[in-house]
Amino acid sequence: MIGLTFVLFLSIINVLNRNLMKNFRIYSIPLLLCLFVTVSIAQVNVQPMDNNETVKKYGTLLHMINNFYVDTIDMAALTEKAVINTLKELDPHSAYIPKKQVERANETLKGSFEGVGLTFQLFKDTILVIAPIPGGPSDKVGVLAGDKIITVDDEVAHGEDITNQWVMDHLRGDKGTKVSIGVYRKGNDELIDFTIIRDKIPINSMDAAFMLDDKTAYIKLNRFAKNSQSEFTDAMTQLKEEGMENLVFDLRGNTGGYLGTAMTITDEFLKAGQLIVYTEGIHQPRQDLNATPKGDFEKGKLVVLINEGSASASEIVSGAVQDQDRGLIIGRRSFGKGLVQRPFKLTDGAEVRLTIARYYTPSGRCIQKPYDDGVEEYFKDFVHRYENGELVNADSIHFPDSLKYETANGRMVYGGGGVMPDIFMPFDSVRFNKNFSALVRKGVLNGFVNEYLDDNRKQLAKDYADFDSFNSTFAISDKDFNRFLDDARDEEIELSEEELASNGDFIKLQIKALISRNIFETSTYFEVLAPMDREISKALETMADKTAFLEFR
């Protein structure tokens, strides 16, 4: 505690130093500010110190600034910066959230927000509707995919000043409030006016759930939110009706979420009494979290897909599945976020998410990777993995004997941060190369698809009554693909004949998937791409191998 207050003290001194050369005049601040930190500290139940000298020192400093400092200081902003800098000295995941951002920060985990209910993208400085959320406010009044929003409450809604934040600020709002939009729709000479009554909009955490073959299902979860368990249960019920016996559970890029949600989903796979995870910290005694008898998929082959973007709750699930020998983990080493945060409210409504414990897998592995070299280096870990060759070669990963652990059946696994998969899959540098990245980053793929749909949406609706017929028969024509290549050249992206020979089919499939996402459901994007997804193919190959799961029985 003494160290933290000293950091807080230094942070304020640094900010003051930067302000010394401003106007010289004394500025009086309310003495109430002197209570800010001490009230907040009491509120978060920090352990009492042996003496109060450090707190007194900080209070004295504030009193001196209040009464004697030479310049005008925004003490609220100063204190906020000091809090932020103090938390940076603790660990990479303790964080400060200002009052006005608290609700927005919790939206994706709570599983809903209030607004008009549509997905959009900015296309050539215009708000393009990707799709209205089915049953949502925009859908109810007749807004369609492909519409372009030109005005919002009679305010111009296109041009270089329009940003994603501008759109959210103008279209989101309290349930029951109204917003008027003017929409351009191809084929209409005048704007179409809509008055939309905002409502609560669900945010789905499940990207996709479908059958890969007659027996194997696929579920992709993008986070562990409040409603994820119900989404997962509904999907499993439907997939079982379609013949599911095995499951590929895709947690690639899933950055985590609620511990409770990770617990209940992992519980579906494990037998009653099996340890899922335990937490422990200096002020938090060890807490074991075990599976209950409620598991609904305790048998059947299970593969969990992870990569360097899988973190926190994703690592709890994959670590438990691996350590209890319930299934196989395929992919690349996960992120390594094993710190438990607890939210604490500050006196002004802001929130501190403070690390209070660490996660440990059933074998005793600490999920958290080291952060001794500071926060900046910590978040450069992906770059370091790339430079060290870890993303493309499993032999580049070295673990000391001190990090060896054993699973329930005696298989060797390693600690040191993150979960190392049972089957390593290198990053696909051929498909996801520099040019493909540029096609995405410069908006060439999305731009081409949007223009293609402008010209062909009605014909596509006429030709393809459902996704299955589209998926089995649609292919982008050579003429249209050449037009796409022209768009790429306009952005100074030149795809060589050699690259088109090795990666052309994948790019065409990306275009098809983006078209499908726009005219059908978002989940169809993943279903279109599945046949060329190497990790999914490896999962199916492993499940077909009669020896791969012998030691799990």
Q: What CA–CA distance (Å, rounded) separates 527 from 516?
A: 10
Q: Model-level pTM?
A: 0.82
Domain ranges for the chain, please list them. Answer: 2-89, 112-202, 206-343+354-427, 434-520
Q: What is the pLDDT of residue 416?
A: 87
**Over its length of 553 residues, how does the chain's per-residue pLDDT go in tens digits?**
334 444 444 444 444 444 433 333 333 333 223 333 333 333 444 455 555 677 788 778 878 887 889 988 888 888 888 888 888 889 999 999 988 888 777 766 666 678 898 888 887 789 998 878 877 899 888 888 888 999 999 999 998 889 988 998 899 888 999 999 999 988 788 999 999 999 988 778 999 999 999 999 999 999 999 899 999 999 999 999 999 999 999 999 999 999 999 999 999 999 999 999 999 999 999 999 999 999 999 999 999 999 999 999 999 999 999 999 999 999 999 999 999 999 999 888 999 999 999 999 999 999 999 998 888 888 888 888 888 888 888 777 777 778 899 999 999 998 888 999 999 999 998 899 999 999 988 889 988 998 999 899 999 999 999 999 999 999 999 999 999 999 999 999 999 999 999 999 999 999 999 999 989 988 999 999 999 999 999 999 999 998 888 776 5
SS3 91: coil
Q: What is the pLDDT of residue 111?
A: 65
Q: What CA–CA distance (Å, rounded) separates 81 from 386?
A: 33
Q: What CA–CA distance (Å, rounded) separates 228 from 111?
A: 8
What would the pLDDT profile of 405-464 be if each residue is shown by its tens digit? 999 999 999 888 899 999 999 999 889 999 999 998 888 998 899 899 989 999 999 999
Nearest to 183 by CA among 173, 196, 199, 197: 196
Q: Beta strand 192-197 with 206-211: parallel, antiparallel or unpaired?
A: unpaired
Q: Which fold has domain 206-343+354-427?
A: 2-enoyl-CoA Hydratase; Chain A, domain 1 (3.90.226)
Q: What CA–CA distance (Å, rounded) separates 306 from 319?
A: 11
Nearest to 327 by CA among 259, 253, 249: 249
Contact in structure between 210 and 531 (CB atoms under 8 Å): no
Q: What is the pLDDT of residue 33?
A: 30
Find the helix packing angle between 444-463 and 478-490, rounded to 10°.
160
Q: Is 317 exposed, middle or buried (0-12, 13-18, 19+ CB in 10 A)?
A: buried
Q: What is the pLDDT of residue 44?
A: 41
Q: Which CATH superfamily is domain 112-202 in?
A: PDZ domain (2.30.42.10)
What would the pLDDT profile of 163-215 be if each residue is shown by its tens digit? 988 998 899 888 999 999 999 988 788 999 999 999 988 778 999 999 999 99
Q: Is the dihedral of CA 286, 292, 295, 298 positive or negative?
A: positive
